[in-house]
Amino acid sequence: MKKLERRALLCLVLAGCLLAGLVLFVGLWAVRGEHWASSAFNRHLYNKQGILMSGTVLDRNGEILTTVDEDGNRVYVGDKARRTSTLHVVGDPYGNISTGALSAFAQKLTGYNLIFGAFGAEQGGNNLYLTIDAHLNEVAYQALGGKKGTVAVYNYKTGEILCLVSAPAYDPMNIPSDLEENEKYEGAYLNRFLSSTFTPGSVFKTVTLAAALEEIPDLESRTWTCEGSTQIGEGVVTCISAHGEQDIREALANSCNGVFGQLAVELGGDTLERYAEKAGLTSSYSINGISTAKGSFSFGDDVSTTDLAWAGVGQYHDSVNPCALMIYMGAIANGGKAAVPCLIQKVESQGLPSLPQFTRKTKTLISSDTAETVAEMMMNNVQTAYGTKRFPNMELGAKSGTAEVGPEEKPHAWFTGFLKNEEAPYAFVVLVENGGSGADVAGTVASKVLKAALEQVG
């Protein structure tokens, strides 16, 4: 009898294990099934070389960027310039560019769902429409003129990224044989806009300015005299030239390191840190599930007064992610909050559209009164320093940056800002690595891209 009881108990335990296993599997299948189906080991969806054989990627205007041809091969369309300039948003065939649509949005391209699984190459997969305009990408890539860097434009009200270029890039249909070793292609797998951080230089003055406007009550009635170099702490903070007597508006337009270095020291490291955090520059954003790189700053107690001054003008150990900076520009133009950028416009499954993509807003990156003042001063920069002729009919606010990156290297050129235009509420960022002067070099790239963007609006 005892033997029988023992056996019954054993059966019960085994049945219990089976049930638990089944529950675990169904649970994992529901949660992870999409991931399993889109794994590069799935030969229904990927070929032997690991190339995704399902799904078409299009731009916002319905122009096909990559698809699967009749023979089941992944092909990129358009001419070389089109393919190269959209490489980082579309992705390479082998999945080396992990933030490209072919990798990051593989699950959406295969059209996986819990009931029917994924559609293989025979069914062609889904149509994934990106928010980018391929023509703008081509304009931006060409404007970079072979230099490394990144250009992006987005609508700060809807979140749609209209242009996103990272350079160097290459033609995915004719992958260069020296891609891995040629210095010219260094970092080509990286989307600099999403995944890199860089020394910001003077574009960071927009953060120091926001802090000063809120924390220093008489800021707008003060004046300073710049003689080209200013003793701050033990060291000297230098300007390109002597800026003479200036108020805060003029100091921003002149991008006076002396004034902003002094303001940084007056504000103190803790306050600067708080404003950099509030501006979202130390946070990571999720762009349709792709995490952006976080910027970082050293404003701590162990930083010398001179270094704190340099940190306040975007030098020292400061680093920012171009996407986070662009979102901050959107928030300045949009009264303190901006839409979080997105890259997917819609996904069509077997001819049926997906659920609409909802716009997400950032938290408050800058208070609304301060945003208004900073925006107005940035528009004044264009009027008095950058030249409205270069940016016709744009209602543009901008800040340039010429970020020192080492004694032997040319500085990084930055130009970032926004349009105050109902039809074209765009924020943008341009970074030309080792490009030289921000206002000249990056400003010229921005001018070309913004002109092209406004032509698309009509």
Smaller CB separation from Zn ion, 256 or 429? 256
Of 429, 410, 418, give the one whose Cα is nearest residue 394: 418
Q: How many helices (H) and strands (E) does the chain have?
A: 15, 17
Smaller CB separation from Zn ion, 306 or 319? 306
Q: How far is the CB of 448 from Zn ion (least distance, A)?
A: 29
- Are 336 and 367 a contacting pair, CB within 8 Å? yes
Smaller CB separation from Zn ion, 251 or 333? 251
Would you give the binding string for Zn ion spanning residues 204-243, x where CB under 5 A is met? ----------------------x------------x---x
Q: How far is the CB of 364 from Zn ion (least distance, A)?
A: 31
Smaller CB separation from Zn ion, 250 or 307? 250
Smaller CB separation from Zn ion, 257 or 416? 257
- Are 132 and 139 a contacting pair, CB within 8 Å? no
First to last CA, the chain: 90
Of 350, 347, 348, 328, give the one whose Cα is nearest residue 339: 328
- Are 30 and 22 a contacting pair, CB within 8 Å? no
Of 246, 252, 189, 241, give the one whose Cα is nearest residue 400: 252
State the sign of the Cα–Cα–Cα–Cα dihedral 166, 167, 168, 171. Answer: positive
Q: How far is the CB of 251 from Zn ion (least distance, A)?
A: 7
Q: How far is the CB of 344 from Zn ion (least distance, A)?
A: 45
Task: For the beta carbon of residue 300, count every other beta carbon within 10 angstroms.
Answer: 11
Q: How far is the CB of 236 from Zn ion (least distance, A)?
A: 12
Smaller CB separation from Zn ion, 45 or 226? 226
Q: How far is the CB of 438 from Zn ion (least distance, A)?
A: 15
Residue 273 dihedral angles phi and psi, to the nearest 5°: -60, -45
Q: What residues form DSSP beta bridges with 287?
A: 290
Structure tokens at 2: 């005892």
Smaller CB separation from Zn ion, 243 or 399? 243
Would you give the binding string for Zn ion spanning residues 110-129, x where CB under 5 A is met? --------------------
Would you give the binding string for Zn ion spanning residues 239-258, x where CB under 5 A is met? x---x------------x-x
Structure tokens at 203: 């574009």
Q: Are strands 127-130 and 56-58 parallel, antiparallel or unpaired?
A: parallel
Q: How far is the CB of 240 from Zn ion (least distance, A)?
A: 8
Count of residues of this chain found to bind Zn ion when the rule CB under 5 A is applied: 5
Query: What kind and span of H or E run contains 399?
Result: strand 396-403
Which residues from 151-180 bind Zn ion, rule CB under 5 A?
A: none
Q: How far is the CB of 247 from Zn ion (least distance, A)?
A: 13
Q: Binding to Zn ion by residue 263, rule CB under 5 A?
A: no
Place of tokens 């005892």: 2
Smaller CB separation from Zn ion, 91 or 438? 438
Of 31, 54, 26, 30, give the one whose Cα is nearest residue 42: 54
Q: How far is the CB of 239 from Zn ion (least distance, A)?
A: 3
Smaller CB separation from Zn ion, 256 or 325? 256
Smaller CB separation from Zn ion, 243 or 278? 243
CA distance 90 to 101: 5
Q: How far is the CB of 325 from Zn ion (least distance, A)?
A: 23
Amino acid at 308: L
Contact set with Zn ion (CB under 5 A): 226, 239, 243, 256, 258
